C-alpha cells in the first residue's frame, strides 16, 4: 500500500484516512444506465462507469443483483449457492425512459432508476418497499484495488439478526463487523472476526406490525464488512475487498415473515440434513482424553453412574505426533479394540482431523497427497509450507475437486478401524508463526493464515487466497462429508467444523470454537447460537463449561442446563484445565447434571422432529423469540431466552448465585411451566423460581411434545415408548416425526408423522401405521388445575392418574388405534 507522505501537522489525520481508505483508492460510482438488455432470465444494465449490473428474479420472493465493476462478468460460480438454485424465473419487464420495472406478477417488484445514477428499489407483492438504495450513495467500486460497496437506506427502528457467528449482542443494528475466518481462541465478546463467514441477515421492523421481515445475502467470499447503521443510523452498507457485488434479497413473501425469509435463503444455500440420531445425544470431549485406558474409563463411568451419553471425542493427542489418520503407538496401542469396546457400551467415537499434513517423505498421507498434486502452492509455484501441530505441513487445496476426492478417500482407513464421526478443526485455515519468529502474534493477526497471494484452484475459477480464504473450511467439511457419503452411503455422517461459509449447513455441524469458562461467555452463547440458527445453520452448539479455563461447579451446572436443549450438545475443555465430566464435582452437582442430561434424552423425540422439519423447510430447531413472534416488540431484544421449535421456551439462569429470574412470555400464546404445570400469560414478564436444580422451561399452551423415558444412549431408543405431553388450554395441531434414526430409507417413505390436535372436542390423534418405530404409549396433559371428572378414550371411560403437584394427568393408551381422548370437567 502506498501511503501519502504526511506533513507533521496533518500526520494523525492522514494516517486515520489511510486506515479507512488506502491512499491509492479510486472509488467511483456505477454511474447512470447507458443500455438495458435481456440475457436469459436476467435484465442486464450497462452503466457509464463501464460496469454491468444484472437483476434476476430467482423466485416470486427472491431477487439477485450482481454488479460487475469492469463490466464483463466472470463465470457465474458460487460455493454458497446450491448448483442450479439460482437459475431464476422469467420476469415481466417494462423499460421506460427513466426506469425499468421488473416483476413476477403479483409478487416481487424491482424498480431500477436509470438516472442520474443507477439505483434500485425492491417491493413486495403488496407494493410495500422492502429495501432501497440510497441515491446519494450509489453502488460503488474501487477501480484500483477491486473493492466493492453498497449502501441501503435504513428505516428508523429496523433491526437485523443473523450474520452467522459473531460474538456480539443479539440484534445487529448499529453494529459493524468484518468477515475473515480467524482462529480467535478466547475471543472477547464484542470482538471479531472469528471462525465463520455468513454474510446473510434477516431484517425486521417490529413497529411496522411485524409484516416487514426481509433478508439479504451478500454472496462474496473475499474479506467483507457490514455496517448496519453504526456510522449513520439512516443507512447501512456492505462491501468486500474484491469480487462482484453479488447479493440476494428475500422479501419474505406476502406475509413478510422471518420463517419465509429463511425458507427462501435455505432453498438457495441448502438445508442442514437430518443427523443420525446418535449425534443428537449428549457428547463428551476433552483436549485430550488419552491414553486409551482413560477413554475406556470415561465411557465406563458414564454407564456405571447411569448418566446418559452417546459420543466420546478424541482430540489431537490420539495421533502419532499429530500426523492425521494415524494412532499414537504408545497411547493408543490397540485403537480397534478400544473402539469395539466403546461400541459395545453404546458409544460412538469422533476423532479430530486437521487440514495440515506433516511434510515427511516417510509419511504415506503426505506422499500420496504430493503425488496426487493436491496441496496448495504459493505464488512462486512451490508447495506451501507452514507450521501447525505436527510441525511443517502442506495443506490440501479443498477448492480443487481432485483434492476433495483424495481427502474424502482418506477416511476409509478410519471407518475401517471403527471411527464413527469426524471433527475438522483449524480450517480457517489457522497456522502458527515460524519457529524462530520473534514477532508477537495478536488475536486477529493477519499472519495466522496463508499469505493472500497463495493460489487456489477454485473449482475451475482459479484465484488467490484473498478470494478463497473464507471458504477453505467449508470446502474441507464438504470434502469430509462427501467422502463419508461415498464410503458409507447407507449411514448419515457426523462432521463437525470450526470454520465455514454461507451454506456450511449442507456439510457439517458447527461449534463456536474456543470460548471461555465465564458467566459472560455463557450468556454470549444464546445470541451466538440463535443467530447462527437464523443464518441457516441448524446444528450448532458451544463448548459446555467454556473451553478455556476451569468453570466453578455452579457455572458448569448452569451451563449444562442452558445448553441441554441446544442442537449440538458437547462438553469440551482445553488441555491445561481441570477434569470436566458431569460427575466431576460430585454430590448435588453430579445429581443435577445427571438430571439435566436426562431431560435431553426425555425430549429427544421432539428435538429429532425439529431436525426433520429443518431439513424440509429450513426452520431451525433453536430459535430466538423474535423469529416466532415478529410482531411482538418486547420479544425483539430478548437475548437470554430461546425457543426450541415453537413449543418450548427456555429461560436459563446465566448469572452466578441466582435462584430466580425474570422470564418474558411472548405475546399471542400462553405458557405452561414444564415442572409444575403453572400457567403464564403471553405478553407478560414474571419472576420465576430457579433453584440450582431447575432449568426454567415452559411449553406453549396447545402444543403436543413427544417425550420418551430416560435411556442411557440412543441405541436404546427403538424400544422406548413415547409419552406425548400436551399443554392444556390452547388449540392447535402438532406433528411428531419418526424414522429409523439413521440411513436414508426415510427419503423413500420409511418414516411416519403423527398428528396430535388439541381442540374444543378434546384431543385427536392421527397415528399412521407403525413400521417399527417408537410406539405411542401414553398422553400426559400438563397444566390442569384439577383432575377431570371423567376421561374417555374413543367414547369409553378410562382411568387416568392425576398428580396435583405437577398438574399432570397421565393417560395410558391401550394401543395406537386411539382416535380421540376427551376430558369432562
Ligand atoms: O490450537 O485440537 O478449537 O476445540 O481442543 C488449538 C486442540 C487446536 C482448537 C479447537 C479446540 C481443540 C484444540 N484446537
Q: Where do the structural domains in the chain lie, given as residue ranges?
A: 9-269, 284-352+403-430+468-623
Grid coordinates standing for 513?
470454537
Element at 217 (helix H, strand E):
strand 214-218
Grid coordinates standing for 417?
478401524
Query: Average pLDDT for residues 643-658, to the nearest whole number?
Result: 98
Residue 287 Cβ contacting ligand 1 at under 6 Å? yes
What atom of ligand 1 comes closest to residue 285's alpha carbon?
5
CA 307 to the chain's CA centroid: 27
Residue 296 Cβ contacting ligand 1 at under 6 Å? no
Residue 91 Cβ contacting ligand 1 at under 6 Å? no
- The preferred substitution site among 186, 284, 287 for testing ligand 1, maximizing ligand atoms within 8 Å of CB, is 287
Residue 425 Cβ contacting ligand 1 at under 6 Å? yes
Give 105's pLDDT tier (boundaries 50, 70, 90): confident
Rounded CA gap, 602 and 4, in Å? 66
Q: How many CB atoms lie within 10 A of CB 656?
A: 12
The Å distance, Cα 243 to ligand 1 centre, comes to 32
| DSSP character string of 48-98 | TTS-EEEEEEEETTEEEEEEETTS-------SSSPTTTT---PPEEEE-SS
Q: The domain 284-352+403-430+468-623: what is its CATH number? A: 3.20.20.80
What atom of ligand 1 comes closest to residue 514's alpha carbon?
3
pLDDT in tens, 371-389: 999 999 999 999 999 999 9
pLDDT in tens, 532-574: 999 999 999 999 999 999 999 999 999 999 999 999 999 999 9
Residue 159 Cβ contacting ligand 1 at under 6 Å? no
Residue of 315, 400, 420, 514 marked active site: 514
Q: Is 639 a catalytic residue?
A: no
Q: Given this model, what pLDDT does residue 515 score?
A: 98
Query: Average pLDDT for residues 795-811, to the nearest whole number?
Result: 97
Q: How many CB atoms lie within 10 A of CB 401?
A: 15
Percent of the chain with pLDDT over 70: 97
Q: Given this model, what pLDDT does residue 209 score?
A: 66
Percent of the chain with pLDDT over 90: 93
Q: Is 244 a catalytic residue?
A: no
CA atoms within 13 A on the CB side of 355: 35
Query: What is the sign, positive or negative, of the torsion defined by CA atoms of 9, 15, 17, 23?
Result: positive
Q: Is the confidence at residue 763, as pLDDT, over 60?
A: yes
Residue nearest atom 5 in ligand 1 by C-alpha distance: 287
Burial class (CB in 10 A: 0-12, 13-18, 19+), 362: exposed
Grid coordinates standing for 651?
429461560
Length, in residues, of the chain: 825
Rounded CA gap, 767 and 650, in Å? 29
pLDDT in tens, 413-439: 999 999 999 999 999 999 998 888 888
Q: Given this model, what pLDDT does residue 11 score?
A: 34
Residue 354 Cβ contacting ligand 1 at under 6 Å? no
Residue 514 Cβ contacting ligand 1 at under 6 Å? yes
Residue nearest atom 13 in ligand 1 by C-alpha distance: 287
Q: Is 124 a catalytic residue?
A: no
Least confident of 142-156, 196-210, 638-652: 196-210
The Å distance, Cα 428 to ligand 1 centre, comes to 12
Q: Is the confidence at residue 788, as pLDDT, over 70?
A: yes
Rounded CA gap, 351 and 334, in Å? 15
Q: Given this model, what pLDDT does residue 349 score?
A: 99
Q: Is the confidence at residue 499, as pLDDT, over 90?
A: yes
Residue of 310, 428, 581, 647 marked active site: 428
Q: Which of 472, 451, 485 is nearest to 398 (CA)?
A: 472
Q: Is the pTM of this model over 0.75?
A: yes
- The preferred substitution site among 386, 393, 514 for testing ligand 1, maximizing ligand atoms within 8 Å of CB, is 514
Query: Average pLDDT for residues 648-666, to the nearest whole number?
Result: 98
Least confident of 186-190, 269-273, 612-616: 186-190
743: left (phi over 0), alpha (psi -120 to 50) or beta: left
Give 2's pLDDT tier (boundaries 50, 70, 90): very low
What atom of ligand 1 comes closest to residue 288's alpha carbon?
5
Give 210's pLDDT tier (boundaries 50, 70, 90): low
Q: Given this model, what pLDDT does residue 3 score?
A: 32
| DSSP character string of 571-593 | E---TTS----TTTT-HHHHHHH
Least confident of 13-17, 484-488, 773-777: 13-17
**Phi then psi for 245, rounded to 5 degrees?**
-90, 90
Residue nearest atom 12 in ligand 1 by C-alpha distance: 287
pLDDT in tens, 351-370: 999 999 999 999 999 999 99
DSSP-based three-state secondary structure for 671: strand
Grid coordinates standing for 587?
454430590
The Å distance, Cα 473 to ligand 1 centre, comes to 15
DSSP-based three-state secondary structure for 162: strand
- The preferred substitution site among 314, 321, 425 for testing ligand 1, maximizing ligand atoms within 8 Å of CB, is 425
- The preferred substitution site among 426, 516, 543, 545 for testing ligand 1, maximizing ligand atoms within 8 Å of CB, is 426
Residue 513 Cβ contacting ligand 1 at under 6 Å? yes
The Å distance, Cα 425 to ligand 1 centre, comes to 7
What atom of ligand 1 comes closest to residue 315's alpha carbon?
2
The Å distance, Cα 256 to ligand 1 centre, comes to 41
Q: Is the confidence at residue 398, as pLDDT, over 60?
A: yes
- The answer to whether residues 575 and 287 touch, using CB atoms and an 8 Å cutoff, is yes
The yes/no answer on whether domain 9-269 falls in CATH 2.30.30.30 is: no
Residue 428 Cβ contacting ligand 1 at under 6 Å? no
pLDDT in tens, 114-133: 999 999 999 999 999 999 99
Rounded CA gap, 381 and 368, in Å? 19
Terminal Cα-to-Cα distance of the chain (whole angstroms) = 80
The Å distance, Cα 772 to ligand 1 centre, comes to 41
Q: Given this model, what pLDDT does residue 438 score?
A: 86
CA 244 to the chain's CA centroid: 25
Average pLDDT taken over every residue of the chain:
95
Q: Is the confidence at residue 13, as pLDDT, over 50?
A: no
pLDDT in tens, 135-167: 999 999 999 999 999 999 999 989 999 999 999
Query: Average pLDDT for residues 732-759, to the nearest whole number?
Result: 97
Q: Given this model, what pLDDT does residue 31 score?
A: 97
The Å distance, Cα 286 to ligand 1 centre, comes to 10
Q: Given this model, what pLDDT does residue 14 score?
A: 34
The Å distance, Cα 242 to ligand 1 centre, comes to 31
Q: Is the confidence at residue 6, as pLDDT, over 60?
A: no
The Å distance, Cα 401 to ligand 1 centre, comes to 27
pLDDT in tens, 302-343: 999 999 999 999 999 999 999 999 999 999 999 999 999 999
Give 441's pLDDT tier (boundaries 50, 70, 90): confident
Q: Given this model, what pLDDT does residue 128 score?
A: 94
The Å distance, Cα 194 to ligand 1 centre, comes to 14
Residue of 354, 425, 581, 738 marked active site: 425
Amino acid at each position: 500500500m502506498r501511503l501519502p507522505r504526511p506533513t507533521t501537522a496533518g500526520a494523525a489525520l492522514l494516517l486515520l484516512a489511510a486506515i479507512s481508505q488506502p491512499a491509492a483508492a479510486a472509488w467511483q460510482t456505477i454511474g447512470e444506465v447507458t443500455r438495458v438488455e435481456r440475457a436469459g432470465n436476467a435484465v442486464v444494465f450497462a452503466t457509464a462507469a463501464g460496469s454491468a449490473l444484472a437483476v434476476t428474479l430467482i423466485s416470486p420472493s427472491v431477487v439477485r443483483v450482481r454488479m460487475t465493476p469492469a463490466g464483463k462478468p466472470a463465470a457465474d460460480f458460487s460455493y454458497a449457492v446450491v448448483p442450479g438454485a439460482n437459475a431464476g424465473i422469467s420476469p415481466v419487464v417494462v423499460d421506460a425512459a427513466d426506469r425499468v420495472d421488473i416483476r413476477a406478477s403479483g409478487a416481487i417488484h424491482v424498480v431500477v432508476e436509470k438516472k442520474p445514477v443507477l439505483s434500485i428499489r425492491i417491493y413486495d407483492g403488496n407494493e410495500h418497499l422492502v429495501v432501497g438504495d440510497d441515491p446519494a450513495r450509489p453502488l460503488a467500486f474501487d477501480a484500483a484495488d477491486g473493492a466493492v460497496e453498497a449502501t441501503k437506506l435504513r428505516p428508523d427502528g429496523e433491526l437485523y439478526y443473523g450474520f452467522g457467528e459473531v460474538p456480539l449482542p443479539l440484534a445487529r443494528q448499529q453494529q459493524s463487523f468484518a468477515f475473515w475466518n480467524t482462529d480467535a481462541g478466547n475471543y472477547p465478546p464484542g470482538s471479531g472476526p472469528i471462525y465463520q463467514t455468513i454474510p446473510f441477515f434477516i431484517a425486521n421492523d417490529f413497529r411496522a406490525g411485524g409484516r416487514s421481515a426481509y433478508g439479504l445475502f451478500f454472496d462474496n467470499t473475499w474479506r467483507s464488512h457490514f455496517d448496519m447503521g453504526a456510522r449513520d443510523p439512516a443507512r447501512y452498507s456492505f462491501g468486500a475487498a474484491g469480487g462482484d457485488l453479488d447479493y440476494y434479497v428475500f422479501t419474505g413473501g406476502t406475509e413478510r415473515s422471518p420463517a419465509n425469509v429463511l425458507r427462501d435463503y435455505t432453498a438457495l444455500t441448502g438445508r442442514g440434513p437430518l443427523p443420525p440420531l446418535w449425534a443428537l445425544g449428549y457428547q463428551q470431549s476433552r483436549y485430550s482424553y488419552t491414553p486409551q485406558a482413560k477413554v475406556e474409563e470415561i465411557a465406563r463411568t458414564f454407564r456405571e453412574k447411569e448418566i446418559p451419553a452417546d459420543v466420546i471425542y478424541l482430540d489431537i493427542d490420539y495421533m502419532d505426533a499429530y500426523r492425521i489418520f494415524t494412532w499414537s503407538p504408545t497411547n493408543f496401542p490397540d485403537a480397534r479394540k478400544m473402539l469395539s469396546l466403546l461400541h459395545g457400551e453404546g458409544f460412538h467415537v469422533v476423532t479430530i482431523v486437521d487440514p495440515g499434513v506433516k511434510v515427511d517423505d516417510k509419511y504415506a498421507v503426505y506422499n500420496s497427497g504430493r503425488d496426487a498434486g493436491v496441496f496448495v502452492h504459493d505464488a512462486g509455484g512451490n508447495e506451501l509450507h507452514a507450521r501447525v501441530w505436527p510441525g511443517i505441513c502442506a495443506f490440501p487445496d479443498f477448492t480443487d475437486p481432485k483434492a476433495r476426492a483424495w481427502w474424502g478417500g482418506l477416511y476409509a482407513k478410519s471407518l475401517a478401524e471403527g471411527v464413527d464421526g469426524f471433527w475438522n478443526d483449524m480450517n480457517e485455515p489457522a497456522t502458527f508463526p515460524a519457529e524462530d519468529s520473534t514477532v508477537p502474534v495478536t488475536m486477529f493477526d493477519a499472519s495466522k493464515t496463508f499469505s493472500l497471494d497463495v493460489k487456489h484452484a477454485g473449482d475451475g475459477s482459479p484465484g488467490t487466497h484473498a478470494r478463497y480464504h473464507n471458504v477453505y473450511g467449508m470446502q474441507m467439511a464438504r470434502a469430509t462429508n462427501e467422502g463419508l457419503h461415498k464410503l458409507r452411503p447407507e449411514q448419515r455422517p457426523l462432521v463437525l467444523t470450526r470454520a465455514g461459509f454461507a451454506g456450511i449447513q449442507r456439510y457439517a455441524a458447527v461449534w463456536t470454537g474456543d470460548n471461555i469458562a465465564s458467566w459472560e461467555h455463557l450468556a454470549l452463547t444464546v445470541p451466538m447460537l440463535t443467530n447462527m440458527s437464523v443464518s441457516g445453520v441448524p446444528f450448532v452448539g458451544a463448548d459446555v463449561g467454556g473451553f478455556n479455563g476451569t468453570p466453578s461447579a455452579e457455572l458448569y451446572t448452569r451451563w449444562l442446563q442452558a445448553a441441554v436443549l441446544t442442537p449440538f450438545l458437547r462438553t469440551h475443555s482445553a488441555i491445561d484445565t481441570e477434569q470436566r465430566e458431569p460427575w466431576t464435582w460430585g454430590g448435588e452437582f453430579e445429581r443435577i447434571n445427571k438430571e439435566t442430561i436426562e431431560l435431553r434424552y426425555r425430549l429427544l423425540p421432539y428435538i429429532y422432529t425439529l431436525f426433520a422439519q429443518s431439513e424440509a423447510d429450513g426452520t431451525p430447531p433453536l430459535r430466538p423469540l423474535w423469529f416466532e413472534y415478529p410482531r411482538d416488540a418486547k420479544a425483539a431484544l430478548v437475548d437470554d431466552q430461546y425457543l426450541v421449535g415453537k413449543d418450548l421456551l427456555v429461560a436459563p439462569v446465566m448469572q452466578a448465585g441466582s435462584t430466580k429470574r425474570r422470564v418474558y412470555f411472548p405475546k399471542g400464546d400462553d405458557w405452561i411451566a414444564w415442572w409444575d404445570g403453572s400457567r403464564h400469560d403471553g405478553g407478560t414478564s414474571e419472576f420465576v423460581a430457579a433453584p440450582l436444580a431447575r432449568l426454567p422451561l415452559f411449553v406453549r399452551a396447545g402444543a403436543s411434545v413427544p417425550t420418551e423415558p430416560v435411556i442411557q444412549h440412543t441405541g436404546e431408543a427403538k424400544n422406548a415408548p413415547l409419552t406425548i405431553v400436551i399443554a392444556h388450554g390452547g388449540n392447535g395441531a402438532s406433528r411428531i416425526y419418526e424414522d429409523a434414526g439413521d440411513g436414508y430409507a426415510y427419503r423413500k417413505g420409511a418414516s411416519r408423522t403423527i398428528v396430535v390436535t388439541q381442540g374444543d372436542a378434546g384431543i385427536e390423534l392421527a397415528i399412521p401405521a407403525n413400521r417399527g418405530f417408537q410406539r405411542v404409549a401414553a398422553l400426559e396433559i400438563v397444566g390442569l388445575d384439577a383432575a377431570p371428572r371423567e376421561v374417555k378414550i374413543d367414547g369409553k371411560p378410562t382411568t387416568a392418574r392425576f398428580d396435583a403437584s405437577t398438574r399432570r394427568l397421565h393417560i395410558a393408551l391401550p394401543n395406537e388405534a386411539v382416535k380421540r381422548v376427551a376430558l369432562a370437567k
